[in-house]
Amino acid sequence: MPSSLQSVFIDAAQPPVVLSASRRTDPAACYPCPFIAKQQKHLPERVHTLAAWTNNPHTMLTRQALRSALQRIIGI
């Protein structure tokens, strides 16, 4: 196993998580505060994937609080 993947799977007691937000309810666009709160419950290094399905990506780009939270999780 490549060393970059090996570090992710070292602690089997706390496996990496996948955060996925439904496009149907669109929490990223319609409920950004609860969406941010859910993200902040997870340490960035424990998040394997973040899928924010949305009909309105404009919200993720223009709301500073939401943008900052997404940047913290994905590390950009």
pTM recorded for the entire structure: 0.60
Q: What does the domain layout of the chain look like in residue ranges?
A: 16-74
Structure confidence at residue 1 (pLDDT): 45
DSSP string, 1-42: --HHHHTTTS-TTS--EEEEE-TTT-HHHH-HHHHHHHHHTS
Structure confidence at residue 76 (pLDDT): 60
Structure confidence at residue 12 (pLDDT): 61
Q: Establish how many alpha carbons lie within 13 A of residue 44's alpha carbon, considering only the half-sphere containing its beta carbon.
A: 9
pLDDT tens digits for the chain (76 residues)?
A: 454 544 545 556 778 888 888 878 888 888 888 888 888 888 888 888 888 888 888 887 888 888 888 888 777 6
